[in-house]
Amino acid sequence: MSDDVWILGITMTKFGKRPDEDTIDLAAEAVHAALADGGVTMADMGILAAGNLMGGAGGIGQALQKQVGQTGIPVYNVANACATGATALRTAIMAIKAGECDYGLAVGVEKLSGVGLLAGGSRAADRDEWTPHGRYGAVAGVDGRIGTETMPGVFAQVGMEYGHKYGGTSFELFARISEKNHSHSTLNPLAAYSKKMSLDEIMNDIMIAYPNTRPMCSANCDGAAAAVVVSDAKLKTLSLEQQRRAVKVSASVLTTDPWQEACQILPDVNTLTRNAAKQAYEAAGIGPEDLDLVELHDCFATAELVHYDNLMLCEEGGAVDLFESGATWRDGSMPVNVSGGLESKGHPISATGIANIWEVCHHLRGEAGPRQIENAKVGLAHVIGLGSACGVHILERAA
């Protein structure tokens, strides 16, 4: 078994409206750029893991091969909600750790611009009287009864629940988190929106689900991201420049919900994230205090606040104090979402997991330009998808 796995090449496309490219075009763009970034070719790859949710059923990976190179390698088509990209990368990492190959390729891609509100799955007929039936037994649909299954509503509830439990939250506080991320986005040319927004603009925009207005929600857009991973033994045979730019994967963790009575009804985004973070810190042999930057899944401004706590960037219940201290700004002690986050960078679902990792790698390599976190050595990338799945990766700069 291979002990260490390294990210050799990684890229994300420009996120936004890409009307002239289809899903395969976007994925191929990311793959070619990641291979070039790593100084390798498709012929070197031993596995392809391809993530896509909205492009129809079946073999996105096989269709992609026809555009980037059909070499007969195993292809895994991955779908795991918003954790799809991180799951694809973990699939390639596991193949290398198992000793099946020296190189792996992961890609996530989505065409989402113009799709409107992302809600739950297909809905059965809804009547005034409800008869228990099906796999959920005596549990009726929750939407409109005890909450909602639409993403803005779920994460609005998550943020409000945190405030009720620990105090200190307000509409303005959540808006200030969004203000931070939109400010960060001005330094990211690949973000869907690179526009600074004032607190007044954010608070007075269209209310989507209180306390999240439109700028406090992740942006549906088109985009792709891809990564090439390599075994430690193979990396040692490559050029000194490839070794210098390689980023060590110190932890790659994927979790789902443990059984809890409450989360059979409404999603619990906290427990599986905290479990993933604990496992990741243990695997990497570090603590949250060792992190130089974090890219977390701010699908909504409310989500960013609760994940400060879930990722243990603060003591339990201390997320408001952490934000109020200024720590999570780019020039703070714990920079969070220097890319602009999903609220600005955009959220092409299957690409997000790898795109978050790309941002961290960019800083660890010292290649982030004007938004560079100086002397960054260790970073964490986090995604969560309702359903539920949470991916956490801890990455370290090459010695």
pLDDT digits (tens, 9 = 90+) for 45-67: 999 999 999 876 568 999 999 99
Mean pLDDT of the chain: 92
Q: What is the pTM of this model?
A: 0.93
User: Which of 232, 248, 264 is at the close of a domain?
Assistant: 248
User: Can you tell me the distance from the alpha carbon of 168 to that of 246, in angstroms, rounded to the nearest whole number?
Assistant: 42
Lowest-pLDDT choice from 34-38, 78-82, 385-389: 385-389
Q: Residue 378: which residues within 8 A CB-CB, separation 6 or more?
A: 250, 284, 286, 290, 291, 292, 364, 394, 395, 396, 397
User: Can you tell me the distance from the alpha carbon of 199 to that of 244, in angstroms, rounded to the nearest whole number?
Assistant: 41
125 inside domain: no
Average pLDDT over residues 133-146: 62
Q: Please give the structure tokens belonging to residue 312.
A: 């243990």
Percent of the chain past pLDDT 70, that is, above it, reads: 90
Instruction: Give me the pLDDT at residue 120, please.
Output: 43
Same domain? 259 vs 367: yes
Q: Residue 290: which residues within 8 A CB-CB, separation 6 or more?
A: 378
Same domain? 17 vs 108: yes
Q: 199: how many CB neighbours lie within 10 A of its CB?
A: 12
Average pLDDT over residues 329-343: 97
304 inside domain: yes
Residue found under tokens 């201390």: 318
Amino acid identity of residue 200, one-letter, is D
Q: Please give the structure tokens belonging to residue 114.
A: 């113009």
Average pLDDT over residues 246-263: 93
Instruction: Give me the pLDDT at residue 59, please.
Output: 83
330 inside domain: yes
Same domain? 65 vs 97: yes
286, pLDDT greater than 90: yes
Domain encompassing residue 20: 5-116+221-248
Same domain? 205 vs 284: yes
Same domain? 179 vs 279: yes
28, pLDDT greater than 60: yes
Reference 321, options 330, 332, 331; nearest CA is 332
123 inside domain: no
Confidence of residue 68 (pLDDT cuts 50, 70, 90): very high
- Residue 282 CA to its chain's centroid (Å): 21
Maximum average pLDDT range among 117-131, 142-156, 278-292: 278-292
Same domain? 63 vs 165: no
Same domain? 99 vs 241: yes
Q: Residue 115: which residues within 8 A CB-CB, separation 6 or more?
A: 54, 220
Lowest-pLDDT choice from 9-18, 258-267, 336-345: 258-267
Average pLDDT over residues 244-256: 98
Q: CATH number, domain at 273?
A: 3.40.47.10
133, pLDDT greater than 70: no
Q: 198: how many CB neighbours lie within 10 A of its CB?
A: 12
User: Can you tell me the distance from the alpha carbon of 149 to that of 361, in angstroms, rounded to the nearest whole number?
Assistant: 34
Instruction: Give me the pLDDT at residue 184, please.
Output: 98
140 inside domain: no
User: Which residues are part of the catalytic machinery?
Assistant: 82, 347
The number of distinct structural domains making up the chain is 2
SS3 132: coil
Same domain? 261 vs 382: yes
Same domain? 341 vs 238: no
Same domain? 203 vs 163: yes
Same domain? 307 vs 374: yes
Instruction: Give me the pLDDT at residue 122, please.
Output: 44
133 inside domain: no
110, pLDDT greater than 80: yes
132 inside domain: no
147, pLDDT greater than 70: no
Same domain? 242 vs 160: no
Confidence of residue 274 (pLDDT cuts 50, 70, 90): very high
Instruction: Give me the pLDDT at residue 307, please.
Output: 98
Confidence of residue 123 (pLDDT cuts 50, 70, 90): very low
128 inside domain: no
Instruction: Give me the pLDDT at residue 121, please.
Output: 43
